[in-house]
Each structure stands twice: as C-alpha cells, then as structure tokens.
C-alpha cells in the first residue's frame, strides 16, 4: 500500500514538472518512482509481482507523459507557459550588415571584447586580432547578435 502511495506522488511530481519546468519536480518524481519499486519489492518478496509492478508503472508513466503533453498542446495560450501570442513579432537583435568593411575607432581596449565607435555610434565588438588598444583603428569583418567582429586595420 505504501508503494502505491509513493508511486502516486511520483506521478504527480512528474506531471507537474511538465507545467512547472525546472527539473526539480521531475528529479523528485524519478527518485520516488524508484523508491516505490524498492518498497514494493520489499513488501511482496515476489520477483514476478515486482516485475509486473515495474511493467504496469512503466505503462502508466508513458500514459501520464502522453496526457501531460496532450494537455499542454491543447491548453489555451493564455494559460500556457510555452511560447504563444506574446512571442509574435519578437525579433532577436541582429548586427548591422552594412557595417562590414567600415572602419571604427576602439573606444575601450578590446581584450578581445570591448567597444568601438563608428560614425559617432558605439558598438559592442570582439577582436579577431587579439588585444587591441584604445584609440586604434579596426575594420568590421562580420558579426553575431548585436556584436561586431573586427580586426586591426592594416
């Protein structure tokens, strides 16, 4: 009887993990699931009964996961924790491709990251030439996100 209570609590923890992701409830659920099997094995002293218990618990776990995923998929976006309407129109920052081959002045030492100034505007940059001192001239060779990749001019 204790094993079944532990199994039910394990399933609840695993189910809630789908709605409150973070890993803690899933880990607790997995530990309780194993504890449930151990307690059942100690209570029954029967290998066949324990194997049947493991198989039934496994089938129930698969059904629980399928139900949790179905419920998440069919829940209204208003109450869901996964990306929904609030994500529409969101664009990640992207570097200005028109800056390629433009020259800039190093505003802070690039070790290898720092800031450069191009046409009076400050940009985050990473040097592909290693350390570059403040005041030196660099050329933009690429970028990623909001960061420009630069090399020392010359």
Q: Spell out the per-residue pLDDT of the chain, length 154, in tens.
A: 899 999 999 999 999 998 887 889 999 999 999 999 999 999 998 999 999 999 999 999 999 999 988 887 887 665 555 555 555 555 567 888 999 999 999 999 999 999 999 999 999 999 998 899 999 999 999 999 889 999 998 7
Please tell me whether residues 103 and 70 are part of one structural domain.
Answer: no
Total number of domains in the chain: 2
The domain that holds 123 is classified in CATH as: 2.40.50.140
Phi-psi sector, 49: left (phi>0), alpha (psi -120 to 50), beta: alpha
Taking alpha carbons only, the member of 122, 8, 113, 128 closest to residue 64 is: 8
Identify the pLDDT of residue 85. 55
Over the range 15-49, which residues count as b (16 or more CB within 10 Å of their CB) and which as e? bbbbeeeeeebbebbeebbebbbebbbeeeeeeee
Please tell me whether residues 12 and 46 are part of one structural domain.
Answer: yes
Residue 116 domain boundaries: 97-152
Identify the pLDDT of residue 89. 59
């Amino acid at each position: 009887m204790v094993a079944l209570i532990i199994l039910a609590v394990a399933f609840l923890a695993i189910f809630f993990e789908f709605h409150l992701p973070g890993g803690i409830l899933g880990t607790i659920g997995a530990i309780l699931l194993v504890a449930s099997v151990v307690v059942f094995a100690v209570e029954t002293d029967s290998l066949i009964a324990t194997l049947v218990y493991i198989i039934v618990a496994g089938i129930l776990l698969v059904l629980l996961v399928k139900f949790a995923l179905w419920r998440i998929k069919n829940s209204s976006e208003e109450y869901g924790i996964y990306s929904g309407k609030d994500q529409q129109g969101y664009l990640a920052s992207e570097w200005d491709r028109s800056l390629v081959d433009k020259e800039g002045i190093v505003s802070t030492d690039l070790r290898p990251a720092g800031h450069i100034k191009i046409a009076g505007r400050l940009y985050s940059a990473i040097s592909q030439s290693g350390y570059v001192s403040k005041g030196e001239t660099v050329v933009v060779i690429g970028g990623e996100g909001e960061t420009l990749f630069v090399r020392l001019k010359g």
